[in-house]
Amino acid sequence: MKKAAVIGAGITGLATAYYLSEHEGIEVDLYEKTDRAGGKIRTYQKDGFTIELGPESYLARKEIMTELASAIGMEGELVRNSTGQSYIYANKKLSALPRGAVLGVPTELGPFLATDLVSVPGKIKAGKDLIKKPGPLYTDVSVGRFFRRRLGDEVLENMIEPLLSGIYATNIDELSLMSTFPYFKEREDKYGSLIKGAIAEKPVSSHSKTKKQGQFLQFRNGLQSFIDQLLKTVQKKGVNTHFNADVESITKADGVYSVTVNNETKRYDNVVVTVPHFQYKRWFDDFPLEYFKHMEATSVATVVMAFDSAQVKNDIDGTGFVVAKKMDTAITACTWTNKKWKHSTPEGKALLRAYVGRPGDFIVQEKTDEEIIRLARKDLDKIMDIEGKPEFSIVTKLEQSMPQYKTGHKSRIDAVHKYMADNYPGLYLTGASHYGVGLPDCVRQAKETADYIIR
C-alpha cells in the first residue's frame, strides 16, 4: 500500500486528502501546524449572525467546488447570493457599473455611453477597441498594460481595476494576464476586439428578461461548516489527521521521503505540500525554488460592523461597492452583507463588511484593530449615510494571505513544477500560490495532484 503525507489542512490540503482517500490503495496522513482546519476560512456565528471572517463565497460557475460539496452531502446547504446592481466608488461618488459589463468590459452600448464612471474622451478611447488590431503576445503582459492598450486608462482605472483588486491583491500594472485572465487575450485574438468577444460569449440568460441569478455560492451555516464536514468525511474515510503537528524536515533517499513531525520521522511514497509559498524555505533550498523567496503576498483585513437597520440609510438595490484606487481610501471594497446574503443577518439588523489592504501599504501590519476600525468607518462615512456606533465590530487580519501573481508568474511556476517532477518525483507543491487563488481553484489543484498520485 502506498503512503502519502499531505502538509497543511487548509482547503487545498483537505481536498487533496479527500481525493486520495477515494482510492483504496493509499494510506494518508494529514498534518496541520495549528489546532484547526480551514486555513483562512473561518466563520463566526452569534445571535443569529453568520459572518465570514476570511473568504466569503465562491464563483458558482467553477463547478468543482459544488461537486465536492455534493459528494460530502452538503449540496442542500448551498445558498446563492441575492442580486442587485454592482457599484464603484470613483470620482468621489457611488456609480452603478454599466449593465452588462463583464469584469468592467462593456457588452451593451447604451449603458456604457450613459455611465458617469468614464468621461466622453474615455468612452471614445474605449470604442477604438472595436477597430484596433490584436497585438502580439510572446510571453506575458500585465493586466494593466493589456487593458490600457485595448480600452484606455479610464475604463481600466474606474471599472476594471476596482473589480479585479478584490480577487488579486496585486498592482494592476504588475498583475500577470496569463496567470489570471488569459481568456481575454484569447478573445482579442479570436474576435479582434474585447468588446466584440464579450458580446459574442455573453451567456444566453444575460440576454433574457428572466430574473438574474447570483453568481456566488455560500453555505447556510458558513464556509466553516463545509470545512468541518470535509474534515469529518476524510476522517471517516481513514485519513489520519494530525493537528499541532509541525513538519520540521522533508528529505529524500532511495525514492522515499522522510518527513519529521514533532521529532518523529515517518517514510512516505508521496508528499503533497499545500502551505503558503513563503514556508517552502523551511524544507527546500534548491535554487530553482528561489522564486518563492521573492514572491510577495499582500496582507489584508476584513472589518465587520453590525448595526440596527435604521442606523444604515441604504435603499440602493445593490450588494456593495468596490473602490477605485485613485480615491485614496483605506478600504478597497464594502459588502452590504445583509443584502447580499439574507441568511447572514437577523431581521432588523444591517451588516457591513469592509476590506482593507493594498499592495505596498502596511495598514494591516502597523495599525491596531481599533485604528483599522476608525479608518474603515471614516471612509464609509464619506460614501454612505450611517448613524451612531455599531452594535459590534470584528477585525480579522490575514497577513501575507494574498499571493501576488506578477507578470511572468505562470512560466516561473511551470518551471518549478517541471524541476520538482524531475528531481523530487512524488513530491508536489500546490495551492493558492500556484495556479489560482479562489476556493474552487484550490480544489481543482487538489484533485489534479491526487490524480497524479493515483494514476
**CATH number, domain at 373?**
3.90.660.20
Q: What is the mean pLDDT of residues 93-110?
A: 91
Judge whether 264 lies within some domain: yes
Is 280 in the same domain as 301? no
Number of H helices, E strands in the chain: 18, 22
Q: Please classify residue 139 by burial: count the beta carbons closer than 10 Å to its beta carbon, then call 0-12 exposed, 13-18 middle and 19+ buried.
A: exposed
pLDDT of residue 218: 97
* Separation between Cα atoms, residue 201 and residue 102, nearest integer Å: 10
In the structure grid, which three cell numbers stand for residue 11, read together? Answer: 482547503
* Domain encompassing residue 104: 97-207
pLDDT of residue 361: 87
Is 307 in the same domain as 371? yes
Judge whether 87 lies within some domain: no
If residue 393 lies in a helix (H) or strand (E), which one and from where to where? Answer: strand 392-403
pLDDT of residue 211: 59
Nearest Cα to 449, choosing from 18, 2, 1, 3?
Answer: 18
Direct distance between the N- and C-terminal alpha carbons of the chain, in angstroms, rounded to an integer: 14
Judge whether 40 lies within some domain: no
CATH of residue 200's domain is 1.10.3110.10
pLDDT of residue 202: 81
pLDDT of residue 210: 53
Judge whether 213 lies within some domain: no
pLDDT of residue 209: 52
Is 283 in the same domain as 230? yes
Judge whether 49 lies within some domain: no
Is 255 in the same domain as 304? no
How many Cβ atoms are within 10 Å of 138's Cβ, its own excluded? 5
CATH of residue 279's domain is 3.50.50.60
Is 328 in the same domain as 421? no
Is 188 in the same domain as 270? no
Is 369 in the same domain as 300? yes
For the sheet containing 26-31, what is the strand order? 240-242, 26-31, 2-7, 270-273, 427-429
pLDDT of residue 165: 78
In the structure grid, which three cell numbers stand for residue 154, read together? Answer: 479610464
pLDDT digits (tens, 9 = 90+) for 370-407: 999 999 999 999 999 999 999 999 999 999 999 999 99
Task: Name the domain count of the chain.
Answer: 3
Is 232 in the same domain as 303? no
Is 395 in the same domain as 414? no
Judge whether 368 lies within some domain: yes
pLDDT of residue 113: 94
Is 105 in the same domain as 200? yes
Is the pLDDT at 205 greater than 60, yes or no? no
Out of 207, 231, 246, a domain closes at 207
Is the pLDDT at 207 greater than 70, yes or no? no
- The pTM assigned to this predicted structure is 0.94
Judge whether 115 lies within some domain: yes
Is the pLDDT at 357 greater than 70, yes or no? yes
Is 308 in the same domain as 399? yes
